[in-house]
């Protein structure tokens, strides 16, 4: 099992993107395809850097990520807990 690196400080949403992506059952390959279909041309290493918070995120990327994940921008920064989503 690979050792996890510490989380960076370049953005505030990376770990939330991982959480929300996994909740929806989306892997990185599917996420990349969805991003590219919507005009965000990034590769796997850039997505990993975004999720690891070692890469800045543009406003356009945030809007597209929120759309793919089916959340608001606010929820991208502060996702609901599992319990809150089941209410």
Cα(3)–Cα(34) distance, integer angstroms: 28
CA 9 to chain centroid: 15
The whole-number pLDDT of residue 6 equals 83
3-state secondary structure of 70: coil
For residue 3, CA distances in Å to 6, 11, 20 come to: 10, 21, 22
Domain carrying residue 7: 1-69
49 part of a folded domain = yes
75 part of a folded domain = no
pLDDT tens string, the chain, 87 residues long: the values are 555 668 999 999 999 999 999 999 999 999 999 999 999 999 999 999 999 999 999 999 999 999 999 999 999 999 877 666 555
Tally of structural domains, the chain: 1
Contact 47, 35 (CB under 8 A): yes
Model pTM? Answer: 0.87
Q: What is the CATH number of the domain that holds 62?
A: 1.10.260
The whole-number pLDDT of residue 19 equals 97
3-state secondary structure of 24: coil
41 part of a folded domain = yes
């Amino acid at each position: 099992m690979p050792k996890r690196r510490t989380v960076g400080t370049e953005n505030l949403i990376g770990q939330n993107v991982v959480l929300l992506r996994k909740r929806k059952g989306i892997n990185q390959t599917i996420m990349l395809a969805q991003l590219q279909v919507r005009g965000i041309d990034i590769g796997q290493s850039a997505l990993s850097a975004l999720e690891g918070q070692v890469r800045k995120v543009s406003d356009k990327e945030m809007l597209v990520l929120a759309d793919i994940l089916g959340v608001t921008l606010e929820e991208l920064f502060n996702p609901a807990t599992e319990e809150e989503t089941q209410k």
